[in-house]
């Protein structure tokens, strides 16, 4: 399955492409809108800050292209910062920056008094069982590195939660749009299982 991994200078691309290949995908890096054509899945990875990431996406002409991918129904997956970019805005860095606006909601800093970044293994609390999270152990641990979290306008998009100072969305899904706040490529067998579940569902044309 052809997977377009958006390369906008956000790092960690080698680990992401390796994890997607191990899960059964055929990943390729994309730096321009035309590279998205023909992909069965588009992945927006990311480490770093929201505002610089959006500037790089704009500079590459990828903002409108990613919005068009979402409108077309082509599956789109955001990882860590990439998940946050799917939403309306972030106030990271003390300024409000417009996101892709594919999903409704905002990105806000974890509450005062907790260690940031939230770095390391933490549990998933499954809220919407289904094929995407099938076969996960209980408890299920995944690897996080972030200081900001999504606050969706519609809590129905949340598939799984985690908690660090506050309960926050760890997996979101709305139609063909998916987001993981954690790093599946760093989450050992469980991350591989989630990516495998997603690709298997898309390959079978079954909603994961």
Is 117 strand, coil or helix? coil
Tell me which of 2, 58, 80, 89 is the catalytic residue. 80
5 Cβ neighbours under 8 A, 6+ residues apart: 13, 16, 17, 20, 27, 28, 29, 30, 43, 45
Active site residue 118: no
Closest to 168 in 3D by CA, of 146, 185, 197, 190: 146
Q: How far apart are CA 25 and CA 153, in angstroms?
A: 32
Tell me which of 92, 146, 164, 185 is the catalytic residue. 185
Closest to 81 in 3D by CA, of 120, 49, 104: 49
Tell me which of 118, 146, 164, 183 is the catalytic residue. 183
Active site residue 80: yes
Task: Output the six-digit token pair for 167.
Answer: 């309960």
Q: How far is CA 75 from the centre of its chain?
A: 12
Active site residue 58: no
Catalytically active residues are 80, 183, 185
């Amino acid at each position: 399955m052809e997977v377009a991994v958006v390369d906008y200078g956000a790092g960690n691309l080698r680990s992401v492409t390796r994890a997607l290949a191990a899960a059964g995908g055929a990943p390729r890096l994309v730096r321009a809108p035309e590279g998205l054509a023909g992909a069965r899945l588009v992945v927006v990875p990311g480490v770093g800050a929201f505002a610089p990431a959006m500037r790089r996406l704009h500079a590459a002409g990828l903002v409108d292209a990613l919005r068009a991918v979402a409108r077309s129904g082509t599956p789109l997956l955001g990882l860590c910062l990439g998940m946050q970019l799917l939403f309306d805005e972030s106030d990271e860095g003390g300024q409000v920056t417009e996101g892709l606006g594919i999903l409704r909601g905002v990105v806000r800093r974890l509450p005062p008094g907790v260690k940031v970044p939230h770095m390391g293994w933490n549990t998933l609390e499954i809220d919407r069982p289904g094929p995407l999270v099938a076969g996960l152990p209980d408890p299920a641990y995944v690897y996080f590195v972030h200081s900001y979290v999504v606050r969706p306008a519609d809590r129905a998009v949340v598939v799984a939660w985690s908690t660090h100072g506050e309960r926050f969305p760890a997996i979101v899904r709305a139609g063909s749009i998916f987001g993981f706040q954690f790093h599946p490529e760093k989450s050992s067998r469980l991350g591989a299982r989630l990516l495998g579940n997603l690709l298997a569902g898309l390959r079978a044309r079954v909603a994961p």
